[in-house]
Amino acid sequence: MQIIPLFVAIPLGAAFFIPMVGRKNPRLSDTLANFTTLALFIMALSVIGKATEVYWMGGWVPRLGIPIGINLVLDGVSIFMLVTITLISFLVTLYSIQYMDKFTSKARFYSLFLLMVAGMNGVALTGDLFNLYVFLEIASISSYALVAFGGQHEELEASFKYLVLGSVASTLILLGIAITYAMTGTLNMAQVSTVIGGNFQPIHLFTIALFIAGFGLKAALVPFHAWLPDAHPSAPAPISAMLSGVLIKTLGVYALARVLLNIFGMTPLTSYMLLILGTISMVVGVLLCMGQDDLKRFLAYSSISQIGYIVLGFGLGTRLGIAAALFHLINHAVFKSLLFLNSGAVEYGTGTRDLNKLGGLKDKMPVTTATSIIGSMSIAGIPPLSGFWSKLFIIIACVQAERYGFAAWAAGVSVLTLAAYLRLLRRTFYGEPGEAQPAAKEVPISMKLSMVALAALCVAMGLLWMPSAQRTFLIPAARVLQEGLTYASSVLGM
Amino acid sequence: MHYALCLALFLVGLYGVMVKRNLIKIVIGLIIMESAVNIFIVMIGYRKDGIAPIMSKVMDPSVFLARSVDPVPQALVLTAIVIGLGVTAMTVAIALRLYEKYGTYDIKEIRNLKG
């Protein structure tokens, strides 16, 4: 039994099945959705450490070394992304059991959610450019619908904005793919990279610019970020966690890294573009986040800043830089989803997320407070939490690549992040009790469980840099991206 | 020449999305952009005096290769059109819901969020 296509087939099937059986019985849809995401997570854990495997859909294996069908590739980076996606999606579905009770059509929620997971798993696995676009659209369309899930004024407005910018991004990506096909006559990523073979021509620059604009829009890099601070806060909290935690990384950062590093190959120019975009996002994101009065908008701007770190790491192009970027990617997925789930808990407990009305919640909501502190300190880079290690390694990688200026920016932004998060903690959980404090209540068990699990991961994730974990998980992933054009030979088996 | 016209169409769509203030006009801009890209994909596979890419038993493979158009872009464009249809339906649905809530299609008046 091949495991690779199941990563897409299982959530796709469950997305179809849940609304049929779960309409009348919400508990049944809870069980099914949680079971599906847990199964996916276990499957993702089971493939860690495996060598590169290629699955040819429909049995269309390459003839004479020329691929004629669509392939799914399970290599280091794909495994890394699958683990990140399925881990967060499992904890988010666990949280949704009780959080989503206030919405009426839970079965439809799970259906859209699993559709999004199927799309993201597909993006992580695919080895075909057009197939990448199809999966990207599956994930995007379900995320547009999920942002609008509340159906109120702000949700609809945010969703429309997200949809329009997201479609422009998809169109740019499709145009880039079409030009790539016109240049090389193939859509298979491995074969495209063999045909291009690292020879850099002016038309490639145009294609790369299209890909950077398209995937940059999906990843909400500054200056393409305008939709994110509206879309992420308007979605229900579990979806915000999913969007900020994994969607922008899979659809934006991962896809961009795959296309630039494995297909076109890193050139000094693209490396410099990524470094600049990363640094701008890092700085602008944290500066905008400092003035926010809405809890979730604050977190959304902070996501832009942290995405900047990841792109900066990829831009360095060295193995340490890429490994550090991937390390920060999974760390950010964990602590940003934790913080968004916390914001959902605050909203659930008090009915508001306006920082002016909050304050002094630490006695009423002890679990939420404790997990928020861990999450905030991790994102701000306080040792020994996970965020500290990944930021440290990104800065070390900058120094090692002799990019001292970028290292200084990364360190400076980290200080600003700490300041911003201290202000957030003071205004929600400590300080003067706000007007929403008397009625506050702690959240129910499934929400607590998923927040505590994520907080424990924030502490434990630092261990990923231990030599044995690093060797099986992080380094194989970084190697695939860093060795760039050897991707083709490992996929086509030449 | 054809490619320049295609690019012009794409830019018309982009202009509509970026500049227009009416929700429906934005949707139309998106559709125009999509069509421009679809036309571009079809043109990649075009060959003057080409034949349909259907191989029959009596046909000589080398003649077939020399004359048939490229079938891959046609398959791609079908998929792209279907995806575009899904996105358009979604956009129109949200635009209609926005009209129900706000009673207007003007994005200047739909401004709760700061951006």
Extents of the domains making up chain A: 6-492
Question: Nearest Cβ partner of B87 from A167, A226, A234?
Answer: A167
Decide if pLDDT at A465 tops 80. no
Q: What token pair was written down for A262?
A: 């494995």
CB interface of B with A, residues 50-69, below 8 Å: none
Is B38 inside a domain boundary?
A: yes
Is B110 inside a domain boundary?
A: no
Verify whether the Cβ–Cβ distance B33 to A168 is below 8 Å.
yes
**pLDDT at residue A64, rounded to an integer:** 77
Tell which residue, A127, A181, A176, has the closest CA to residue A487.
A127
Tell which residue, B51, B77, B47, B83, has the closest CA to residue B64.
B51
Is B65 inside a domain boundary?
A: yes
Q: Which positions ≥6 away from B81 have C-beta within 8 Å?
A: B38
What domain count does chain B have?
Answer: 1
> Which residue's structure tokens are 């309409």?
A23
Residues in chain A with CB shorter than 8 Å from the CB of B37 are 171, 174-175, 178
Query: What is the pLDDT tens value at each position of chain B, 115 positions in all?
Result: 788 999 999 999 999 998 998 999 999 999 999 999 999 999 888 888 888 888 888 878 888 888 888 888 989 999 999 999 999 999 999 999 999 988 888 888 777 666 5
B105 three-state secondary structure:
coil
Which of A126, A131, A171 to mutate to test binding with chain B, by most B CBs within 10 Å of its CB? Answer: A171
Residue of A nearest to B25 (CA): A164
Chain centre to alpha carbon of residue A53: 23
For residue range A16-49, list pLDDT tens digits in order: 999 988 877 888 899 999 999 999 999 999 998 8
**Average pLDDT, whole number, for chain A?**
89
Query: Does the pTM exceed 0.90?
Result: yes
User: Residues of chain A with pLDDT > 90: what percent?
Assistant: 56
Asked if A179 contacts A206 with a C-beta cutoff of 8 angstroms, the reply is yes
Asked if A488 contacts A194 with a C-beta cutoff of 8 angstroms, the reply is yes
> Which residue's structure tokens are 């506050």?
A440
B104 three-state secondary structure:
coil
Question: Closest Cα of chain A to B94: distance in Å?
Answer: 6
Question: Nearest Cβ partner of A130 from B10, B76, B91?
Answer: B76
A187–chain B Cβ distance below 8 A for any pair = yes
Is B111 inside a domain boundary?
A: no
Is B112 inside a domain boundary?
A: no
Residue-by-residue DSSP string for B57-94: TTS-HHHHHHHBPPHHHHHHHHHHHHHHHHHHHHHHHH
User: Which is more confident, A265 or B16?
Assistant: B16
B39–chain A Cβ distance below 8 A for any pair = no
**pLDDT at residue A145, rounded to an integer:** 93
Is B12 inside a domain boundary?
A: yes
**pLDDT at residue A494, rounded to an integer:** 53
CATH number for the domain including B32? 1.10.287.3510
CA gap A86, A114 in Å, rounded: 11
CA gap B49, B55 in Å, rounded: 16
Verify whether the Cβ–Cβ distance B30 to A168 is below 8 Å.
yes
Per-residue pLDDT averaged across A69-75, rounded?
Answer: 89
A439–chain B Cβ distance below 8 A for any pair = no
CA gap A304, A383 in Å, rounded: 22
Question: Closest Cα of chain B to A249: distance in Å?
Answer: 21
B35–chain A Cβ distance below 8 A for any pair = no
Asked if A344 contacts A235 with a C-beta cutoff of 8 angstroms, the reply is no
Which of A130, A167, A188, A297 to mutate to test binding with chain B, by most B CBs within 10 Å of its CB? Answer: A167
User: Residues of chain A with pLDDT > 70: what percent?
Assistant: 99
Per-residue pLDDT averaged across A278-303, rounded?
Answer: 91
B8–chain A Cβ distance below 8 A for any pair = no
User: Which is more confident, A475 or A14?
Assistant: A14
**pLDDT at residue A8, rounded to an integer:** 94
CA gap A243, B111 in Å, rounded: 23
Is B11 inside a domain boundary?
A: yes
User: Which is more confident, A67 or B110?
Assistant: A67
Residues in chain B with CB shorter than 8 Å from the CB of A192 are none
Per-residue pLDDT averaged across A363-392, rounded?
Answer: 90
**pLDDT at residue A110, rounded to an integer:** 94
Q: How confident is the model at residue A383 (pLDDT cuts 50, 70, 90)?
A: confident
Provide the residue range defining the domain that includes B94.
Answer: 2-102
CA gap B19, B11 in Å, rounded: 12
Question: Nearest Cβ partner of A134 from B14, B41, B83?
Answer: B83
Decide if pLDDT at A299 tops 70. yes
User: Which is more confident, A202 or B83?
Assistant: B83
Verify whether the Cβ–Cβ distance A171 to B72 is below 8 Å.
no
**pLDDT at residue A369, rounded to an integer:** 92
Residue type, A278: G
Residues in chain B with CB shorter than 8 Å from the CB of A230 are 113-115
Verify whether the Cβ–Cβ distance B97 to A230 is below 8 Å.
no
Q: How confident is the model at residue A262 (pLDDT cuts 50, 70, 90)?
A: confident
Residues in chain B with CB shorter than 8 Å from the CB of A133 are 80
Decide if pLDDT at A198 tops 70. no
**pLDDT at residue B107, rounded to an integer:** 82
> Which residue's structure tokens are 């939490």?
A385
Burial class (CB in 10 A: 0-12, 13-18, 19+), A100: buried
Decide if pLDDT at A351 tops 80. yes
B106 three-state secondary structure:
strand
Question: Closest Cα of chain A to B39: distance in Å?
Answer: 11
Residue of A nearest to B6 (CA): A175
Is B115 inside a domain boundary?
A: no
Which of B24, B90, B106 to mutate to test binding with chain A, by most A CBs within 10 Å of its CB? Answer: B90
A292–chain B Cβ distance below 8 A for any pair = no
Verify whether the Cβ–Cβ distance A156 to B76 is below 8 Å.
no
Residue type, A164: V
B11 three-state secondary structure:
helix
What does the angle CA A134 – CA A282 – CA A77 come to, to the nearest 5 degrees? 40
Q: What token pair was written down for B53?
A: 């890419």
